[in-house]
Structure 1
């Protein structure tokens, strides 16, 4: 009997070889080599199944999935986002070990809540000397206006993050607490999505615990603290320039929260409202990602431009929940780490399950003497987030501070000892990461998240995310912020229920209203439509000028008069200066400026503005749309090739918006922007190229600009004439590029938007659109003239202005308008 041939590829064999080679090079403190756990072998076998023998391919694949999801972050002072760096190798933690970590995080959350409640309440801990008063008042995150205020729902903390480091013997210790605006939960979710798409079989193979129950519990916990049974909850973001804005947008979309900025909100009679196209709508809770000092210029920093005046008054009245309570960030200060163990014994009657790294605050004489005596064996750092004069570069190992720098630090330490802490030098465990096409050991830290659920207790996200250092040195001071992230998989012997944020089929009332649309978002979608249409119209003029007409006699042999009008169209759009002549070289230079020079209203400038809107609308745009908006400017050698690439991109974006966007209010504003901009461009084109006396070249260019050459040739095969051309591009309601089509759609879209009164009378933007449509409908191709077209342009501008006044409410205007609905 013939034997079966051996398989060509053995994933288990590759996994064993990877592990053996890696452990031969790594140290004794590595989580993979020290664990000797079959779960790691199973994970690498799954990785080998995907990547064969190419670890670099696995890294590229998981990174590509992260990009597809839309994961990114921003470095301060950098104009563009960076892709979120994900390792294809997750950190594995067995469920029993994780249970111990979770108990420690819950204990710590309870302790932090108790401390914050005391500091802003009775302040007994300061009165008893458990916490030095200078430690509290010296922090810029201690907010005096919050003293004595009872938080709505009775709790100051609703969502926290804790950074943990794993020591050489496997013990976990706390490196930092994050309470002001804890970031990273969205990245943990996105890491899991990217890894799940790469290693699809890992979930079932290792019984990996899921993230969805944690996020569902947090959402339910926020709702439970609100006074209304069906509360409206928002995620308050600083905006698209926030380093973690992509994460915030992803979380808002995933949790079904309204993503709002300070300008979207208004405080009125101790309640908070979101400015929407339907009036002011009550908001009950805000998961804030704004620095608390910038939340309310009336209560904190008067220079804040991103806060909400009166927000803290509404909070004090119990009408809006803020997660977390402003002022809780005082406990993030590194100096507090030296007091946490004693406070746990005082407030909880327990020892810390997850101890801090040993910390000495130099504001206490004995502790300062200890730091000086052991200076070269400690990590020296700022006691508060503000950087002291003696160490402008942040925390550094004492032994590395020499010469003049050491003298300057010692002098400032003697002058202001309260500004400094000394901490033990922490040695971190390492984990495998793919560098090039090989596994190498790198130190890591673990960020864990806890949130309050509906019963007021704490639930812990099973896993969080790992941050991995760039260098092999395992000291925490050397690792810094890390350069990679990794999913953290908590696994065990018990099967995991397939939980998700999807609710039971019959537990929700079916509705077709997609929810509240803030005025700012409507404004963004409207101008996204206008910019895209404006760029496409300008590009069409450039392509015709350069000779890309389907008419064999067009383009390169257009008459000088026609070319001059095209130049006037481009120059009139502010895209370039008038060329010195109409020679080919000067026209090419004009086209290059109009396409690429961001010093003008060029296509590159228009695309940048559209991209900026896309970056600020991630919670409402598909990943494909965002990628197209963020695509770099084409670099093909030929200008017509670059123009063609841009045209195809515009067409793809138009297709996505036409066929993939739901017919929501946001889409209606986007379509309104397109129709108004297109109608304006077409009115200008007809005025330039379609008036009495127009040459065949003029009329051919007009058909090109209206993308109507084929329609005209099919309808009038015998030749080109002004009246039928004008009728097709101006008055034919079946031509989507015509004035008539745009006017009809503008009126229709405005009729579909909400109105504020119930008297069934048209609002200004509606009756102006109706009047515009009547003018276009009653015109004839033979009689339409420059005066009529100029009037149409002015009326289009009037519709746009009326629409903006009605829906894009800014400043205090919505608080004064008597008709605005409060709901």
Structure 2
């Protein structure tokens, strides 16, 4: 972690101070008594709003749009449960400011609570004295679906159950802080806190130094060092285990993995062997020492928990029990997330720590006790009745009436809790073009550092409610989040997770490449090239057969071949005739229809792979993949817009991706797909007897018209066209060029054996390149091209069998690489 020199503060507009004062005066005239600005020192807030006025031209709406653009540039997004489309991350341009002295008390309470939670979990899965002496009712543990009985008596690697915890905090009307909920299973939100800081920091560039805002980097560095310190190897490999791209917080997980230098893995990437855990890579099995898991513990291992889990790792818990893989947090810790546990936290603090809670818990009554049940039943109008164990009790609907609730409360009282309604403090939020007070909840985070002590992130992220008088805030439709800045009188070193320049160990290998990531890169390349080839054929059809102003019209025989080429991809059924109207409909369907082979469908597939690879792709690449369909009125204009987008993506791939193994797989996919398309086009338009129209179409499909005209100005000839499109190794669109690149890439990829004998996919690529290199233009007929297409398909299968995941099979060859 290196110290970075402070940057000079930006120059403000002369009237920014006046604008900030006007905003604050207007806000305080409407803000409720429990707003954070009431009774607070206004100087930091004025400085913040002055900075906002200076960079946003005194327009709050523009400030909101600006910070949203920065969040989009970072790649921040989220999903609501059940949705497949990502939403933009809603971040407010106005941060929540907390004085360092006030935060010190909050942080002390978080550390105390984290240690208390650790000791309770250790007891519940160990000696269980808290249950034996009655401090915790047995039904609270054994009746909880979050209690994992198979883990009782199992000591976690490193001796600690909790490594990273989150707590939802509410600030009351008088400024006191209370805990609303604990998050221990797979705490989410730390990445959003980081992304909020990045987005707001880019908007308010001078604020951090001006207010001495405490930074997040030391917290993340401590957490990473804490995980590494508990691993058995000196140079451990640490992964972030994600449920996959459809998880609501997958964008956050990808961002955290990239920021912390962790390997982003899914269950299918991992294999347990001899009580050790490995990631399945293109170079064989590589040892994993620790996992920061974001996967529900019941889905971790189908052999230990839910047998129906298809996203877990069979044998993972055996490796965990043997002490060979650290899981953060330990499975089973979520038993303390149950709302019912909150009712016993004050007593537990006294029993376990011998002191009261520094951060009180929201008042909670568990209805498993008769007196508590009676209290809740008598006070339904002023209490919130909630499930005791995370889920709505069986048999009770979301819209249950008061009578239904009372009846079910009498039948199954242990399934319910009553909680006080918390009135939340409000914070300035940009709504429309002015500041409005909105309630907020703060999610705070604590992690163990290298020495095992708890470290608290300074701040966290605020979740802002939509309505002025809401008692609960959750990210959703119309809601916002806020950066939380802890500021103080003392300068804060500008720190980074990057190592000091002189201490950095130089490396040019980016590290382990999981098979799934290679698979995604390969198919992203294939889909992009497939879409571009199909779009090129559609544009040739549109430009030469339908557009009356586009030049000479192709003859029916050539048009029929173009139609067959497009229809053969599955993009659209062939039209009944070759009339202009029929061809226009056919082209539109092939480009924008709902079928599985259309350009639109191919783009959706590429976009899906991009979403799953966001830890590996640049923000510009993701933005292009995620861009909406073009909106020009003309079909040819929309096709041209899409073609330029494909060219931009290809340019990013060619000029911005480091030439590592991940890039090689992406380029392998492109080269293989382009070779297939080129061979098919030659077979249709370049055989003996091909006329000028067929040959011209072939050159258009191969994007080689200019090259041919420069080389052969006298006119079209089959031998010259075939040589350029099929056999010229200097033409980047030719078959020969693709074959050479395929052989070159495969020769550079890792092999499993050390006998220096070519692996099957390497031998096939070399043989294919030699066949094409020794062919003659005159001898290249339909049979030889058909054989090339079959060999390309076999090469694709060989690449997949050697490098990509094959179901649950951990290995793809008799040899095994373990590291």
Q: What whole-Å deviation, never above 9, does each CA across 1:11-42 have from its counterpart, x for those lacking one?
A: 11110110000000111110023314311111
- Does residue 233 in structure 1 map to residue 238 in structure 2? yes
The number of residue pairs the alignment matches comes to 808
Map residues 467-616 of structure 1 onto 2, 5 A cutoff.
467-476=463-472, 483-547=479-543, 557-616=553-612
Q: What whole-Å deviation, never above 9, does each CA across 1:565-605 have from its counterpart, x for those lacking one?
A: 00000011111101000111111111011001122400001
Output the CA distance in 1 between the equivalents of 2:707 and 2:551.
19
Output the CA distance in 2 between the equivalents of 1:482 and 1:418.
35
- Does residue 112 in structure 1 map to residue 117 in structure 2? yes
Any idea what SS the aligned residue of 1:375 has?
coil
Aligned to 1:358: 363
Change (3 A) 1:474 1:534: closer
Change (3 A) 1:390 1:789: closer
Given that 1:473 and 1:479 are in contact with CA atoms closer than 8 Å, whether structure 2 keeps it comes out as no
Given that 1:467 and 1:481 are in contact with CA atoms closer than 8 Å, whether structure 2 keeps it comes out as no
Which of 408, 412, 416 aligns to 1:412? It is 408
Any idea what SS the aligned residue of 1:442 has?
strand
Output the CA distance in 2 between the equivalents of 1:283 and 1:221.
16
Output the CA distance in 1 between the equivalents of 2:244 and 2:474.
32
Aligned to 1:281: 286
Any idea what SS the aligned residue of 2:422 has?
coil
Map residues 165-564 of structure 1 onto 2, 5 A cutoff.
165-389=170-394, 392-393=397-398, 405-476=401-472, 483-547=479-543, 557-564=553-560
Change (3 A) 1:704 1:789: same
TM-score (norm 2): 0.97
Unaligned runs of 5+ in 2: 1-11
- Does residue 61 in structure 1 map to residue 66 in structure 2? yes
- Does residue 646 in structure 1 map to residue 642 in structure 2? yes
Aligned to 2:3: none
Any idea what SS the aligned residue of 2:306 has?
coil
Any idea what SS the aligned residue of 1:488 has?
strand
Q: How far did residue 812 of structure 1 move? A: 3.7
Output the CA distance in 2 between the equivalents of 1:676 and 1:469.
51
Q: How far did residue 551 of structure 1 move? A: 13
What is the RMSD computed on CA atoms of the aligned residues?
1.7
Which range moves more in the overlay, 138-147 or 555-564? 555-564
Given that 1:338 and 1:359 are in contact with CA atoms closer than 8 Å, whether structure 2 keeps it comes out as yes
Given that 1:467 and 1:482 are in contact with CA atoms closer than 8 Å, whether structure 2 keeps it comes out as no
Aligned to 2:38: 33
Q: How far did residue 126 of structure 1 move? A: 0.6
Aligned to 2:97: 92
Q: How far did residue 506 of structure 1 move? A: 3.0
Output the CA distance in 2 between the equivalents of 1:190 and 1:478.
18
Aligned to 2:739: 743
Any idea what SS the aligned residue of 1:814 has?
coil
Q: How far did residue 477 of structure 1 move? A: 7.9
Q: How far did residue 556 of structure 1 move? A: 5.3
- Does residue 657 in structure 1 map to residue 662 in structure 2? no
Output the CA distance in 1 between the equivalents of 2:344 and 2:548.
83
Q: How far did residue 78 of structure 1 move? A: 2.0
Given that 2:459 and 2:486 are in contact with CA atoms closer than 8 Å, whether structure 1 keeps it comes out as yes
Any idea what SS the aligned residue of 1:280 has?
strand
Given that 2:440 and 2:473 are in contact with CA atoms closer than 8 Å, whether structure 1 keeps it comes out as no
Q: How far did residue 81 of structure 1 move? A: 0.1
Output the CA distance in 1 between the equivalents of 2:349 and 2:782.
81
Q: How far did residue 549 of structure 1 move? A: 9.7
Which range moves more in the overlay, 466-475 or 259-268? 466-475
Any idea what SS the aligned residue of 1:226 has?
coil
Given that 1:206 and 1:493 are in contact with CA atoms closer than 8 Å, whether structure 2 keeps it comes out as yes
Which of 762, 780, 783 aligns to 2:779? It is 783
Given that 1:390 and 1:409 are in contact with CA atoms closer than 8 Å, whether structure 2 keeps it comes out as no
Q: What whole-Å deviation, never above 9, does each CA across 1:61-118 have from its counterpart, x for those lacking one?
A: 0000000000000112322100000000000000000000100000000000000000
Q: How far did residue 555 of structure 1 move? A: 6.2
TM-score (norm 1): 0.96
Any idea what SS the aligned residue of 2:731 has?
coil
Given that 2:464 and 2:473 are in contact with CA atoms closer than 8 Å, whether structure 1 keeps it comes out as no
Aligned to 1:3: none
Q: What whole-Å deviation, never above 9, does each CA across 1:304-329 have from its counterpart, x for those lacking one?
A: 00000000000000000000000000
Aligned to 1:148: 153
Given that 1:214 and 1:460 are in contact with CA atoms closer than 8 Å, whether structure 2 keeps it comes out as yes
Output the CA distance in 2 between the equivalents of 1:755 and 1:570.
38
Any idea what SS the aligned residue of 2:401 has?
helix
Given that 2:92 and 2:481 are in contact with CA atoms closer than 8 Å, whether structure 1 keeps it comes out as yes
Any idea what SS the aligned residue of 1:493 has?
coil
Map residues 638-717 of structure 1 onto 2, 5 A cutoff.
638-717=634-713
Change (3 A) 1:479 1:226: closer
Given that 1:469 and 1:480 are in contact with CA atoms closer than 8 Å, whether structure 2 keeps it comes out as no
Any idea what SS the aligned residue of 2:648 has?
helix
Given that 1:429 and 1:474 are in contact with CA atoms closer than 8 Å, whether structure 2 keeps it comes out as no
Output the CA distance in 1 between the equivalents of 2:552 and 2:82.
45
Given that 2:545 and 2:580 are in contact with CA atoms closer than 8 Å, whether structure 1 keeps it comes out as no
Change (3 A) 1:784 1:817: closer
Q: How far did residue 140 of structure 1 move? A: 1.1
Given that 2:692 and 2:716 are in contact with CA atoms closer than 8 Å, whether structure 1 keeps it comes out as yes
Aligned to 1:81: 86
Q: What whole-Å deviation, never above 9, does each CA across 1:349-369 have from its counterpart, x for those lacking one?
A: 111000101100000111111
Any idea what SS the aligned residue of 1:197 has?
helix
Q: What whole-Å deviation, never above 9, does each CA across 1:682-717 have from its counterpart, x for those lacking one?
A: 000000000010010000000000000111111111
Output the CA distance in 2 between the equivalents of 1:377 and 1:100.
30
Map residues 617-636 of structure 1 onto 2, 5 A cutoff.
617-636=613-632
Which of 740, 748, 751 aligns to 1:752? It is 748
Output the CA distance in 1 between the equivalents of 2:35 and 2:61.
21
Q: How far did residue 822 of structure 1 move? A: 1.3
Q: What whole-Å deviation, never above 9, does each CA across 1:423-449 have from its counterpart, x for those lacking one?
A: 111111000000110100000000000
Aligned to 1:103: 108
Aligned to 1:818: 814
Change (3 A) 1:534 1:479: closer
Given that 2:679 and 2:735 are in contact with CA atoms closer than 8 Å, whether structure 1 keeps it comes out as yes
Given that 1:546 and 1:556 are in contact with CA atoms closer than 8 Å, whether structure 2 keeps it comes out as no
Which range moves more in the overlay, 470-479 or 320-329? 470-479
Aligned to 2:23: 18
Change (3 A) 1:136 1:8: closer
Q: How far did residue 390 of structure 1 move? A: 6.7
Which of 126, 138, 142 aligns to 1:137? It is 142
Output the CA distance in 2 between the equivalents of 1:437 and 1:170.
28
Output the CA distance in 2 between the equivalents of 1:715 and 1:817.
47
